[in-house]
Chain A
């Protein structure tokens, strides 16, 4: 039997066209995104790569980063290219953003990539640069963010952590979860991830770090700088075998 296919069949049958259109536009997502959730190697399980979730203060900094739309000009994704390695450092690992919801990879670089900005500049540089970027980098086109010196709203930190816990970030509510964190991340980190202690942990880290150079109260600047200073610092690449990373792709 010879089938004489005619496009007209689809065009004159709206139900068939609907189904086929849906199929066509799902292909991209089904082929490129869905499998990554099932492939074992997606998040690198490599010796030396032990990324922890953000502390409460860093998490609030992340939220401010998102609120101010930093991702519209700054990416957090160093691609495996020679020029990017030379400028920004080691390429980003999937493991490094495994607890980011949503991830901040971005796709637009008006400013530089920030994936490894942690520890690159001092806190006081970040504070001054966020308040008045051109006072530090004359050619910068970054807007001023002077309002970041306002006090941080800490009231909903536990809710924010619970929301992330619901999508799989190992913030602990129960004693059993806390003990699991101790096993995975060690005692110090596990204490930071315990939701009942979130507010205390947040204030303690801000007071100890004094990121904004102002001892009076916890400001949004404290949170944002704490976040920026931890970006890209969780993996010690001197302890990672590069060949393992290559093999995980």
Chain B
């Protein structure tokens, strides 16, 4: 209470008293605060004149400030200041800074880019940024992929080819993995025989009797596996048909199965259900040709480029 009493002696009151002794303090704002407030009002008026501000009917005051940028056709466009024009001007500056690198990327072919120390350094850093944003959600940050979903980009195994040209084609146009479902065409014994044969191709423990009949089926016209996977099972990159003779798996999750019979079962279910996934979007319309070129070299250099 003593503090309150002290205050009542030093602070002004409004001068009005209710019920004889009920008074109201009057604490005016500090002068510096009031002055700052007036300055902000003056500032806002100046701002109205410089930048787009007041709506008038179907239009608005465009402001006195102007801005110019260079458009795609190379013409200088001058307009009243607005954020879209500001972006265009900003992009002019970024383009200017990136141009020395991107024009070199455009002028050189893939292997030259990979060999040139300065350019490959640029590709490594710019490519990493592009890869992280656009590719990593599926192929994962290191390009290691995800069995059952998206292929590993760091190994030697390529579904559609690992040359610069093939990687470039995959990124630009996208891909769509497809294998027919054989569950309705073949009976369970036939699928089991095929699965055992496919297991034998990459050295997985299998039933050799079943594998032998599977081999016949593999090259027969009934199953016609050979048409896409080739007679040896080495696959065909022009069709995106995987090599079955290596130990690398994408659709059948063989690595996750511990027991040999589970590995064969994983192959069996893929044969029965087929594959209608492995969709890679086309990046041709989304990224610029130079960006795709940078990504091509980056992916090629991840380890498995041919």
Contacts and interface: CB of A to CB of B under 8 A. Distances in A.
Interface in A38-81: 38-41, 79-81
Interface stretch (B86-94, B194-202, B234-242, B263-271): B86-94
B84 A245 contact: yes
Contact of A82 (B60, B91, B138, B141): B91
Q: Is the interface of B mostly helix, strand, loop or mixed?
A: mixed
A35 B57 CA distance: 8
Contact of A40 (B59, B79, B84): B59
Contact of B77 (A129, A135, A246): A246
Contacts of B82: 246, 249
Contacts, number: 84
Interface string B124-137: 00000000011011
A181 interface: no
B20 interface: no
Given A35-B55, A136-B138, A238-B285, A246 B60 contact: no
Contact of B60 (A35, A91, A128, A238): A35
B87 A137 contact: no
Interface residues of B, number: 37
A8 B28 CA distance: 12
A38 B280 contact: no
A122 B138 contact: yes
Contacts of A129: 137
Interface residues of A, number: 37
A38 B56 CA distance: 9
B134 A120 contact: yes
Contacts of A89: 286
Nearest to B83: A80
B138 A121 contact: yes
A247 interface: yes
B118 to A, nearest CB: 22
B99 interface: no
A135 B147 CA distance: 11
B58 A39 contact: yes
Interface in A222-249: 238, 242-243, 245-247, 249
Interface string A12-23: 000000000000
B138 A125 contact: yes
B79 A124 contact: no
A246 B92 CA distance: 15
Contact of B55 (A38, A119, A213): A38
Given A119-B286, A124-B279, A128-B149, A247 B59 contact: no
Given A39-B60, A121-B137, A246 B88 contact: yes
Q: Is the interface of A mostly helix, strand, loop or mixed?
A: helix
A243 B280 CA distance: 33
B259 interface: no
Contact of B84 (A87, A120, A128, A246): A246
A119 to B, nearest CB: 6
B84 A91 contact: yes
B146 A136 contact: yes
Contacts of B150: 125
Residue among A35, A40, A122 having the largest count of chain B Cβ atoms under 10 Å: A122
B72 A242 contact: yes
B140 to A, nearest CB: 8
A39 B60 CA distance: 7
A85 B91 contact: yes
B71 interface: yes
A123 interface: yes
A120 B285 CA distance: 11
Contact of A80 (B79, B84, B285): B84
8 contacts: A81-B90, A82-B91, A119-B281, A120-B286, A121-B281, A123-B279, A124-B279, A247-B79
Given A82-B91, A242-B71, 15 more contacts: A39-B60, A79-B83, A80-B84, A81-B90, A85-B91, A91-B87, A121-B138, A124-B149, A125-B138, A137-B137, A238-B285, A243-B71, A245-B84, A249-B52, A249-B85
- Shortest Cβ-Cβ A-B pairs, 5 listed: A35-B55, A122-B279, A80-B87, A249-B82, A82-B90
Interface of B: 14, 52, 55, 57-60, 71-72, 77, 79, 82-88, 90-91, 94, 133-134, 136-138, 140-141, 146, 149-150, 277, 279-281, 285-286
Interface of A: 8, 31, 35, 38-41, 79-82, 85-87, 89, 91, 119-125, 128-129, 135-138, 213, 238, 242-243, 245-247, 249
